[in-house]
A and B are shown apart, each in its own frame.
Chain A
């Protein structure tokens, strides 16, 4: 088992090294102007300087905080709302199709509305993130509830469980695999929207930093920011995968 994951890690690192090598070859050959496309070395230097004494560390923390807050809000609202709709078959039948229809619209369509109500503020960005990232969790919870084994509803009826107990002890755990997968998706959306929100509303953070770097042709700083954004996404998704494996231990052996 451990041997296998070590090999996977090595293969992953090898792929990354190849990617950086190609990047270096392209910049060395000057296929693209260095004004737009910096070499890996310059990007690394900018990264180290930025994180050391520069503003990059603070901006990273800003963006991560924004992303996490929005994601938590989205998860809380999404799962609670999903549970409310999910427990009732009738509510599901009425509401679920409308939700499916609305799902592709919100994130972008929401921004002008949020600006109108909240102006160019941190709250506006937070609302946009929460609203945009809400959908995977909401729909996963509804679907998870609907997919619960009907026999378990009968078991709960015979045992005399209350509706709240059914949600808490049966429906939520049985929907957990779907919900956990949606949490990972929601985190990615939160990161994207945090960056977009910062750009649009000029809030402190990586999004703004990347935008400013690009406007002033500081390509190395631009790429340093992008590298950090990629790292945030990777770390977040890895942490959630680990949590998923822990929480879904009961599933592991059946496969």
Chain B
């Protein structure tokens, strides 16, 4: 219970503006242990529908583990993850996850269109309707001209775009992203940040975005959850009061952006000492 209160301190403002609304995701006193080793030590967060949460923290503090629990791929040892008020018992089609290793998450024997199609086949979308949906999705994510390419013929950025397109084909309510742009160059990275923000804005999806990059966390998020290691728990939750839509030049020069960057930097630095 103590952890619940601690995590709420900085999130108060968002909570009070819409008090009655049920959160899309409710993480309640979640812990996770592998044998005797505790990896996650009591995390509680509420995430509102349409909100974007960035998660930062030092390597090995449990960011991926937390995200996997939200995806239903790992089970909390104690505590629960709730989606729209119902306890999440396993993977759910309405929660999509974009893996960091895009190369492994795609089917190398299917073209870009075929990879997107997999998500449609899974949810029983009739074969006749698929081409139109695939076309739209690939256009949206900037792969319209590459529908017939195999992943081995695509660049890293294109493959990660493709994975995102497949996740969107799931029509998820929640989009989980685990350092999705870590392996990409700065320009591709910024382009994808903007694409993802636009997609989230139009679909109204809730996003949880794990990253190592403080600026990325600020640029994308409504709130930033800072995890501390051994065992993984919430150190601070920071509100991001920057106007949307965000802009790579304007937002990043905003005094608030710079202040947040400084604040987070000091916070992380403390963790590393």
Q: B152: which A residues are within 8 A, CB to CB?
A: 250-251, 253-254
Name the residue of chain A whose CB is nearest to the CB of B71. Answer: A158
B108 touches A250 (CB 8 A): yes
Q: Are A158 and B150 in contact (CB under 8 A)?
A: no
Given the interface pairs A165-B122, A250-B108, A254-B108, the reply to whether A158 lies near B97 with Cβ below 8 Å is yes
Q: Is the CB of B105 within 8 A of A155?
A: yes
Cβ-based interface call for B240 (8 A): no
Number of interface residues of B (CB under 8 A): 27
Q: Which of A151, A154, A159 contacts B93 (CB 8 A)?
A: A159
Least CB distance from B37 to A in Å reads: 21
Q: How far is the CA of A248 from the CA of B109 in the complex (A)?
A: 8
Interface residues of A in 225-255 (CB under 8 A from B): 248-251, 253-254
Beyond A151-B99, A151-B104, A160-B93, whether A250 also contacts B150 by CB under 8 A is yes
CA gap between A249 and B149 in the complex, in Å: 11
Residue pair B109, A154 in contact (C-beta under 8 Å): no
A176 to B150, CA, bound (A): 16
- State how many angstroms separate the Cβ of A180 from the closest Cβ of chain B: 12
Tell me, rounded to whole Å, the shortest Cβ–Cβ distance linking A70 to chain B.
29
B119 on the interface (CB 8 Å rule)?
yes
Q: Across the interface, which residues of B come within 8 angstroms of A173, CB to CB?
A: 107, 109-110
Are B105 and A152 in contact, CB atoms less than 8 angstroms apart?
yes
Within 8 A of B (CB), among A144-201: 149, 151-152, 154-161, 165, 169-170, 173-174, 176
Q: Which residue of A lies closest to B169 (CB)?
A: A159
Q: By DSSP majority rule, is chain B's interface helix, strand, loop, or mixed?
A: loop
B60 at interface by CB-CB < 8 Å:
no
Cβ contact within 8 Å between B108 and A160: no
B247 CB-CB contact with A under 8 Å: no
Give Cα distance in the complex from A202 to B260, angstroms.
88
Q: CB within 8 A of B119: which of A152, A159, A174? A: A159
Knowing A157-B91, A159-B118, A160-B122, the reply to whether A151 touches B101 (Cβ < 8 A) is yes
Among A149, A158, A161, residue most surrounded by chain B Cβ atoms (within 10 Å) = A158
Report the bound CA distance from A151 to B122 in whole Å. Answer: 17
Shortest CB distance A158–B (Å) = 5
- Chain B 79-114 interface 0/1 with A at a Cβ cutoff of 8 Å (1 = within): 000000000001111011101010011011110000
Which residue from A158, A165, A174, A251 sits with its C-beta under 8 Å from B91? A158
A-B contact count (CB 8 A): 68
Do B96 and A158 have beta carbons less than 8 Å apart?
yes
B73 contact set on A, CB distance < 8 A: 154, 157-158
Interface size on A, residues (CB 8 A): 23
A158 to B108: give the CA distance in the assembly, Å: 18
Residue among A160, A165, A170, A253 making CB contact with B150, cutoff 8 Å: A253
Residues of A within 8 A of B123 (CB): 159-160
B153 at the interface (CB under 8 A from A): yes
Point out the residue from A152, A157, A254 that lies within 8 Å of B90, measured CB to CB: A157
Measured between alpha carbons, how far is A149 from B96 in the docked complex, in Å? 19
Which residues does chain A contribute within 8 Å of B90, judged by CB atoms?
157
**Closest chain A residue, CB of each to CB of B124:** A160
Contact, CB under 8 Å: A165 / B105: no
Contacts of B153 in A (CB 8 A): 253
**B136 on the interface (CB 8 Å rule)?**
no
Cross-chain contact B122 with A152 (CB below 8 angstroms): no
Contacting residues, chain B, for A154 (C-beta < 8 A): 73, 91, 99
Count chain B CB atoms within 10 A of each CB in A174, A176, A250 and give the residue with the most.
A250
Q: Is B122 within 8 A of A251, CB to CB?
A: no
Q: Is B159 an interface residue (CB 8 A)?
A: no
Across-interface contacts of A249 in B (CB, < 8 A): 150
B44 an interface residue at 8 Å Cβ cutoff? no
Name A158's contact: one of B95, B109, B110 (CB within 8 Å). Answer: B95
Shortest CB-to-CB span from B110 to chain A, Å, is 8
Q: Does B254 contact A (CB under 8 A)?
A: no
Q: Which 4 A-B pairs have the closest CB atoms?
A: A254-B152, A159-B122, A151-B104, A157-B91
A and B contact pairs by CB, cutoff 8 A, 23 listed: A151-B99, A151-B101, A151-B105, A152-B105, A154-B91, A155-B99, A156-B122, A158-B73, A158-B92, A159-B93, A159-B119, A160-B93, A169-B107, A169-B118, A170-B107, A173-B107, A173-B110, A174-B109, A249-B150, A250-B110, A251-B152, A253-B152, A254-B152
